[in-house]
A and B are shown apart, each in its own frame.
Chain A
């Protein structure tokens, strides 16, 4: 039986690497796309003939097109996971400096929104032609709620969550819905996964702050995100499209 192919952008980062390992275990051919050389070197430690690593700056349309032509020679991508993002860590600034500069704004939007769009433009369009495929965009609980700045202020001493993060995650939902309706008739499904905070060596103080605002009183385990990714990749979710699925311990309920 022919192996299915999963392409993951930002595949060499903290979560991206876990996604790659998971889909390899599920017997997929995994195409890991990243532009961070250090992370790309680290992912090469995964020894598998089914893992293929590409360096690509997805913010450049020509480079994505070149990547698409190269991959098309050997593979049809069954599952596209748009995971690449610039990590918007809370930062400490005062006055107008608490807002990102125009360059930061452009850089972050270019990777997450424009980059995801270019990937869908080429790889999604190919799915559209073949009338099969699943696209999963990675969002956040901040795609539906505003950040609780009190958490960052007390845990990081007056830091705030950057505005770009919220705007991008809301934008990812627009991208998801747009392509879900465009590609629906071709049986190409487009969904978004929006996790709440995920366990990743956070400080004790931040962990406690977060637990206080999550009804389930704990953070997500990365494994819990993997199960949802697999569900949306598989035919078990064949009637679900255009949805933003929150996996957040109840954080955004009401």
Chain B
């Protein structure tokens, strides 16, 4: 797909309204920064007994109700931009789209994650032809099968947030690699925290 001028204008108007709404309600009543605030990450490995799921997982239709305000740049089509002509492989090797990290056994997005995605959304607004696949990854703890499900929830959480920032849903695909594909090979928290990630892989320019 391509972003038309009309689409951009409408999105810009929507963003302005949202910004105003947020500003007004902020004057009237102090609101929590985001309604998708994660529970504190569980550091105790596992509950000994059967307990309800602690982290509500996002569904494919859930949209965080109060996305932060993002300045809307016009799409840049400057012919001097090397990324415009670069191959997918080249771009992914030093991608302007940064990974999002997660707490253990959690698919919740913290402030750092949201800031990263805001920046990634900026990039995707700039390069309107880019289609990404968000890969959900997990650390090696937990079973391989559980991690495939957890990675899927992480990828979906990221996608849903990107959509809430105005990125078209069909530009953000998801896949879970579970714990099959650690980026850091170690067996300690230093490695694990880097492996609990959602990786933005540029998979097409359309």
* A and B associate in one complex: no
Q: A residues bordering B, Cβ < 8 Å? A: none
